[in-house]
Structure 1
């Protein structure tokens, strides 16, 4: 990650609880979990748009 941007993010409480549990299970911080999931989704979308 070359650059970082700080944002304020509002999440529904149930989504926050779920993400927190997922992060704990993966031994990541909540921030790292969110970034990880967004990067996976971005890569999936990019791969889908590159496929013929």
Structure 2
């Protein structure tokens, strides 16, 4: 969607995937991930709240 300028309605996991994709491919953050999926990720771009 980002590369083809298509509308993208990302909620919940869809938004997380969009943020991770942007961090990796636009910002160049190798290993960018969510701490929900990879707790010890090199570049956390989505983090779980302590109370969750």
TM-score of the aligned structures, taking structure 1 as reference length? 0.31
TM-score of the aligned structures, taking structure 2 as reference length? 0.31
Q: Which has the larger radius of gyration?
A: 1
* Structure with more strand by fraction: 2
* Structure with more helix by fraction: 1
Between the two structures, name the one with larger relative contact order (CA 8 Å, sep ≥ 6).
2
